[in-house]
Structure formats: structure tokens, C-alpha cells
């Protein structure tokens, strides 16, 4: 059983790693992933929620109440961080002014100057009230013999505070401003980080906001009732007026209109809808009045599925994050050791505790691994959210990482490069051939079958009863009608039992050169043929051109005849064609292609599922079958082939952003810690630099929103 819940109180990557390791160690847990950027955990196993809640509470964190949404929690976190930062800043200003300008007020208390007492009291309030969140977490972790960013901050500020009190009572130098300003800067950093994280995680809330809230339900007595969308049930009839959103997924029962489906596809072109057409919740009715029969409740709509896929993608880690997680898990203990060594060495060299204290505190403060922990999840968060708004669903961080290395894309033809809605263009043999062919195809789910049946319906031909119906995958169908065995399928399939004359073969070649698929009807001899054409999708050629511009090779893999496939390939600019491929052979071609490097497979049908799964990156067209969509790691909503190069480009951009984030996070610590240890970095500057590093990572990730 998979359980997803939010965790309050995590302040750095090591927090997430520690909770994740704790959950993984529990009996009954098969898998556990904790996302620091989302403050979210996903656990797969038989463990009870109450057990996990108790474990997490012992670590000093808490599980967020279910009645509090992610967006509400983010808002609460941001407001809380702002209040703490404002309170601390207000108190720290007089401390900073008194210390920096060395102002000594002309009064004493117990033989100590009033300025010193003001600095001491205000700093103590700052460190122990708004800063208590660090100490509480650090203490809880100490009891569990663990450490985190909170440990570093707590140690740094408390050491500076305690030493300053001791020094003040001994009439020595005071460093209250160090403890005060460090706390203030970190709290301000927390607030800015909370704001940036909220902006990065807006994808889900914006998707959810797309849905309609109310609907006009048609009652059985003919009356119209305004109801909430959540109260609608399957088979309810609703009225959708011009300018209103479709409340839920459904089927048009009356009327015709043009819908804006850009929230699903990312394309602004209006889509014509007639009686019998499917419509999707949250799309906009631009023209006309529609009566819709509801076919899915709010939790099962296409929009809901998109939201779930985006959420799952944001929860899953990219492989590159494992390195960051491993480093974060050991980073804090190492830093504590480095800080202690810094203090000892400076003390031995100078003989002065105060001189040794400042670089040690600077090491503790600057070494926070926050930026490291945010580097990968925030980029995935923004990348997947931005792609979703463009009609591209990226299911995981792994898919994002794989996408950047793709050098070859294999395309299925029907429903991928072409519309997948073929029509009969030529008929040899008259109505008899059409009637028998349609009767045989009535039991088939192949796209060509739908074209034959539709043509028979237009000709108002009645279909006959077929017995012993059989589908020969990749070849055709057979069945008995009135005692006669008929075979319908490819010329090669027919030639297994019937001979085709020279004129018929010439006719077939001509039709294939016109990019038409030919199917033959025969008994033990030839009866007639049907030529079927499937138009190339608008934008298919541009998609191939864009991929080539990215340095990616394109290949077509299809079960259609070689000449027909080559004609389609010429239209779109594909040079390599594998034709007459049986479903099982697609998988073999994918495996063979993988020997030359990482490949992506783009398909939409049931027979594409094995190839989609085998490929390094499976890209499913959203207008295809459920099984293909399930098998694909990236889903193109609406089936717009132009989204394929966009998806790969977004993958490359996101991966590049992750690498940039990790580079700067590593460089920041690699430079900052030695400088702090050498005494070249004031603790206050270190605190500001630490906060800035996390914010810079978040801002760099937010650049992915720009196109």
C-alpha cells in the first residue's frame, strides 16, 4: 500500500535523508522516498500511519494534518518564517548598531555598561525565541545521535552567545552581534527560501485551479439546477454555455461547438466538437451550447490523472540526486569535526579563545548543505510543472535525466506520425467486397478496421454474421460467412493461400507509392482490394526537423508495407525506415538500436507497449491507448507530435539546471569552508552567504519556467 504525506519541520537535505533512512529501516516498508523541496514522503509497504507518525515525531518533526493542503501549509510556513524574521530583525538592529559603532551608554548595572546588558538580553531573546526552532530540532537529533543543519546553526549561535556572556562578565570582548545577526540572516534566508519553494511548487495548485467549480445539471423533469462539480455523477447530463468550462470529462449528447483545450495540450487552436465526441473537464467552451453526459467523476478525469502524474513525478528522485543524498548524510558530522579542529588549531596558535572561536563558528554556519539538498528536487519540481502546462507529462525525475542523453528516436507510424484515423480512398470489387470486409473487421480493434466499417456505414450496407473469426496479428483477419472462409489483410498474408496476378500487383504498387495501405479480400482466390490513407499529422515534419536540429536521429518502425512507409517517411523527412514489422519485432529493433546508444520510442498502440517499456525513454501519445500511456515514461497529451522535441529539450534543460545547481552548491562549500577555517570569513558574512546559496539554487531552477 502506497501512502503519501507531508512532513513539517524539515530544514535541510540531511533532515530528509535521515527520515528516509529511518522509514526504510522499518519492518514492512518496501520503499520510502522523502522529498525535501516538497516536504513530502511517499512510503510503499504495510506499515501503519500511526507508527510512522510516532517515529517522525521522535525525530523532532511532525506529519501535516490531512485537512491542510500543500498550498495552505506553504502559506503558513512562509507567514511563520516572515514573523520570526521580522521579530528577530527588530531586536537585532539595536544590538548591531551598539556593537558596530561601539556606542557605550553612560550608565552601568552591576558594574557592567548598559550597552553590554542591552546587547546581551536582546541577543538572548533572539537566539532563544525565534531561534528556538534550531535548538529544539538539534536537541531532538542529539538524543537520536544524529545531526543536521539545525545542529550546525544551534552550535554556532549558542557558542557565540554563551562565550559573549562569559566574556562580558569578565569585562572582555563581546560578540553578541555575531549570534544575533547570524540568527537574523538565517531566518530571513528561511523566509526567502519558503517563498521560492512556494513558487517552485505552484504547478499542482495551478492545475487544480483550472477545473470548474459549478455546473448546470439537467434533471429528469427538464429543470436546470446549479450544483457543485463534486456532486456530479457518471451519466448525469449537464448544460455548458458559451464561455463556460466543461465541468468533467464527458460525451457530447446535443449541440456542437469549438473548445479551447490548451490546458491539456498547450495548443491554442480551437477543437471542433460534435455529437458523440469526447470532451475533457476544465476545457473551455468557446462557441455554441453543449449538452454533456458525464463519463468520469472528478477524481477520474484527465485533469485529475495529469495532477497525479505530476505529483508522482515530483516525488520521485532522479538518479543524480543519490550522490547529493549520500554527501548530505555524512556532511554535517564532518563539518562539526572540521569546526572543532579549527577552534583547537587557532587556540593553539594564538592562545586566545575569542580569536579561535570566530572561525570555528563561521565554519559551522557556512557549511549548511541546504543548497545541495534543493539542487535536484527543485529543478524537477519546476521542470515537470512547466512541461505539464505545455501538454507534456514527465512521470519521473529518472525520465528527465534520461531524456538529455537520447541520440535516436524511433517512431511508430499510425497514430503517432499519422492521425491514426484512416479513411478508405479506393475500392476495387464494389459493395460486395466492402460489405464482406466490414463484416470481418467488425471484430477487430485495428485502426484500419474502423475505416472499413465507417465506409460501409456511409454506403448503408448491412453487416453479415461471421463465424470462426480469427485475428492473425500483424497480418490480417479471417472468418466464415455463409459457409465460405474469407481472408482479409496484407497482400503478403493473402498470397499465403491465394495467387495475385500481375495487374493486381501493379495496382498495389501504385497505391503504395501514394502512401496508401492496401488490404486484400480473398477466399482461395482474389476478390478485391481496399486502399486506405492515413494523413500525416500537422507539424510532423517540423517535429522531425526540430529533432534533427538537436542532433537526434529519427527512425520509423511500422507494420505497414515498405513502399507505403517510405512514402510517409519522405513526407516528414525520416531517412531510416523499418517496415512490415510484426509487434514482436518492434521490441527486437529497439534492443538492437540500444547497442548504439540511448534511444527513445514514440508510440500510441497496444502493440507499442513492449517497445515503450524496453526503450531507454518511452514517449506515449496521449491520444493513444491506456496501456501505451501506462508504459510510457513521458506522455504527450493530445498526441501532438511537435511536443516530442519539446519534451526532450525540457529534459535537457532540466538536467543542465540540476548540474548547475549541484556545481554551485559544491563550489560554495568547497570555497567557503576553507576560507572560514582560515579566519578569512566573518560568521555574519558566512550566514548571509549560506542563505544566498539556497536562494540562488531556487532562482536558477525557476528559470525553467521561461521558454
Q: Which of 123, 678, 580 is nearest to 356 (CA)?
A: 678
**Sign of the dihedral defined by the CA atoms of residues 399, 404, 406, 411, in that order:** positive
Q: CA–CA separation, 492 vs 476, rounded Å?
A: 10
DSSP assignment of 190-252, as one string? HHHHHHHHHHHTHHHHHHHHTS-SEEEEEPTTS-EEEEEGGG--TT-EEEE-TTPBP-SSEEE
* Cα–Cα distance list, 509 to 201, 430, 489, 499 (Å): 56, 20, 16, 16
Q: Which of 463, 423, 416, 485 is nearest to 632 (CA)?
A: 416
Contacts of 353 (CB under 8 A, 6+ apart): 163, 347
Q: CA–CA separation, 231 vs 233, rounded Å?
A: 7
Q: CA–CA separation, 608 vs 625, rounded Å?
A: 10
Contact, 467 vs 481, CB < 8 A?
yes
DSSP assignment of 248-274, as one string? SSEEEEE--EEEE-HHHHS--S-EEE-
How many Cβ atoms are within 10 Å of 176's Cβ, its own excluded?
Answer: 29
Q: CA–CA separation, 200 vs 173, rounded Å?
A: 44
Question: In a 10 Å sphere around its CB, with 0-12 CB exposed, 13-18 middle and 19+ buried, how is residue 210 labelled?
Answer: middle
Active site residue 412: yes
Helices (H), 351-446: 353-366, 370-389, 397-403, 430-441
Q: CA–CA separation, 356 vs 337, rounded Å?
A: 15
Please give the DSSP secondary-structure letter assigned to residue 418. Answer: B
Q: CA–CA separation, 177 vs 168, rounded Å?
A: 13
Contact, 265 vs 387, CB < 8 A?
no
Interhelix angle 353-366/149-169, rounded to 10 degrees, is 160
How many Cβ atoms are within 10 Å of 229's Cβ, its own excluded?
Answer: 20
Question: In a 10 Å sphere around its CB, with 0-12 CB exposed, 13-18 middle and 19+ buried, how is residue 509 labelled?
Answer: middle
Q: Which of 469, 409, 454 is nearest to 645 (CA)?
A: 409
Q: Which of 498, 443, 433 is nearest to 469 (CA)?
A: 443
* Cα–Cα distance list, 271 to 247, 256, 263 (Å): 17, 11, 13
* Cα end-to-end span (Å), the chain: 39
Contact, 159 vs 182, CB < 8 A?
no
Q: CA–CA separation, 22 vs 18, rounded Å?
A: 6
The residue whose grid cell reads 512521470 is 395
DSSP assignment of 137-169, as one string? HHHHHHHTT---HHHHHHHHHHHHHHHHHHHHH
From the candidates 150, 325, 412, 608, give the one annotated as an active-site residue.
Answer: 412
Q: Would you please indicate which residues are annotated as catalytic (active-site) residues?
A: 412
Amino acid at each position: 500500500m502506497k501512502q503519501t504525506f507531508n512532513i513539517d519541520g524539515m530544514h535541510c537535505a540531511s533532515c530528509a535523508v535521515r527520515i528516509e533512512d529511518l522509514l526504510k529501516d522499518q519492518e514492512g516498508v518496501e520503499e520510502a522516498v522523502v522529498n525535501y523541496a516538497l516536504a513530502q514522503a511517499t512510503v510503499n509497504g504495510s506499515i501503519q500511519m500511526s507508527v510512522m507518525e510516532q517515529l517522525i515525531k521522535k525525530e523532532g518533526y511532525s506529519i501535516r494534518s490531512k485537512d491542510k493542503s500543500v498550498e495552505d501549509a506553504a502559506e503558513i510556513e512562509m507567514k511563520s518564517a516572515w514573523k520570526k524574521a521580522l521579530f528577530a530583525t527588530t531586536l537585532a538592529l539595536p544590538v548591531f548598531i551598539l556593537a558596530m559603532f561601539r556606542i557605550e551608554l553612560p550608565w552601568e548595572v552591576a558594574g557592567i555598561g548598559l550597552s553590554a546588558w542591552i546587547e546581551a538580553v536582546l541577543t538572548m531573546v533572539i537566539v532563544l525565541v525565534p531561534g528556538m526552532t534550531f535548538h529544539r530540532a538539534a536537541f531532538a537529533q542529539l538524543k537520536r545521535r544524529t545531526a543536521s543543519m539545525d545542529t550546525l546553526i544551534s552550535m554556532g549561535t549558542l557558542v557565540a552567545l554563551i562565550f559573549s556572556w562569559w566574556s562580558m562578565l569578565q569585562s572582555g570582548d563581546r560578540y553578541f552581534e555575531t549570534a544575533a545577526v547570524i540568527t537574523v540572516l538565517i531566518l530571513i534566508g528561511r523566509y526567502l527560501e519558503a517563498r521560492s519553494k512556494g513558487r517552485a511548487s505552484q504547478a499542482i495548485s495551478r492545475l487544480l485551479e483550472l477545473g470548474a467549480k459549478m455546473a448546470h445539471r439537467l434533471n429528469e423533469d427538464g429543470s436546470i439546477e446549479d450544483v457543485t462539480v463534486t456532486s456530479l455523477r457518471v451519466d448525469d447530463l449537464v448544460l455548458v454555455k458559451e464561455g463556460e468550462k466543461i465541468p468533467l470529462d464527458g460525451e457530447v449528447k446535443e449541440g456542437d461547438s469549438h473548445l479551447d483545450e490548451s490546458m491539456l495540450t498547450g495548443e491554442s487552436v480551437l477543437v471542433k466538437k460534435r455529437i458523440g465526441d469526447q470532451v475533457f473537464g476544465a476545457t473551455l467552451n468557446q462557441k455554441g451550447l453543449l449538452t454533456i453526459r458525464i463519463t468520469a467523476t472528478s477524481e477520474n478525469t484527465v485533469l485529475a490523472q495529469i495532477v497525479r502524474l505530476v505529483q508522482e513525478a515530483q516525488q520521485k528522485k532522479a538518479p543524480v540526486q543519490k550522490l547529493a543524498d549520500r554527501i548530505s548524510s555524512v556532511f554535517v558530522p564532518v563539518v562539526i569535526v572540521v569546526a572543532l579542529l579549527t577552534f583547537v588549531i587557532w587556540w593553539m596558535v594564538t592562545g586566545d579563545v575569542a580569536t579561535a572561536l570566530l572561525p570555528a563558528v563561521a565554519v559551522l554556519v557556512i557549511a549548511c548543505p541546504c543548497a545541495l539538498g534543493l539542487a535536484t528536487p527543485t529543478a524537477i519540481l519546476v521542470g515537470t510543472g512547466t512541461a505539464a502546462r505545455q501538454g507534456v507529462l514527465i512521470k519521473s525525475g529518472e525520465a528527465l535525466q534520461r531524456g538529455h542523453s537520447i541520440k535516436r528516436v524511433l517512431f511508430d507510424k499510425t497514430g503517432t506520425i499519422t492521425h491514426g484515423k484512416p479513411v478508405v480512398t479506393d475500392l476495387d470489387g464494389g459493395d460486395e467486397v466492402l460489405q464482406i470486409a466490414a463484416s470481418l473487421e467488425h471484430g477487430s480493434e485495428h485502426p484500419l478496421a474502423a475505416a472499413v466499417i465507417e465506409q460501409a456505414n456511409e454506403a448503408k450496407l448491412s453487416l453479415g454474421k461471421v463465424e470462426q473469426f480469427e485475428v492473425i496479428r500483424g497480418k490480417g483477419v479471417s472468418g466464415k460467412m455463409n459457409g465460405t472462409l474469407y481472408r482479409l489483410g496484407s497482400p503478403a498474408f493473402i498470397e499465403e493461400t491465394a495467387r495475385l496476378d500481375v495487374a493486381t500487383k501493379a495496382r498495389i504498387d501504385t497505391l503504395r507509392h501514394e502512401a496508401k495501405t492496401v488490404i486484400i479480400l480473398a477466399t482461395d482466390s482474389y476478390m478485391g482490394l481496399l486502399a486506405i490513407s492515413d494523413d500525416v499529422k500537422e507539424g510532423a515534419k517540423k517535429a522531425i526537423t526540430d529533432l534533427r536540429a538537436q542532433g537526434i536521429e529519427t527512425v520509423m518502425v511500422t507494420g505497414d508495407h515498405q513502399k507505403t512507409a517510405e512514402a510517409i517517411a519522405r513526407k516528414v523527412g525520416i531517412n531510416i525506415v523499418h517496415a512490415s514489422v510484426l509487434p514482436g519485432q518492434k521490441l527486437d529493433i529497439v534492443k538492437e538500436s540500444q547497442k548504439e546508444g540511448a534511444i527513445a520510442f514514440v508510440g500510441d498502440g497496444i502493440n507499442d507497449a513492449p517497445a515503450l517499456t524496453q526503450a531507454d525513454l518511452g514517449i506515449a501519445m496521449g491520444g493513444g491507448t491506456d496501456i501505451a500511456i501506462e508504459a510510457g515514461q513521458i506522455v504527450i497529451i493530445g498526441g501532438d507530435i511537435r511536443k516530442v522535441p519539446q519534451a526532450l529539450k525540457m529534459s535537457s534543460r532540466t538536467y543542465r539546471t540540476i548540474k548547475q545547481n549541484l556545481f554551485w552548491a559544491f563550489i560554495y562549500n568547497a570555497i567557503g569552508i576553507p576560507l572560514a577555517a582560515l579566519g578569512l570569513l566573518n560568521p555574519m558574512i558566512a550566514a548571509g552567504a549560506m542563505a544566498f546559496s539556497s536562494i540562488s539554487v531556487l532562482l536558477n531552477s525557476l528559470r525553467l519556467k521561461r521558454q
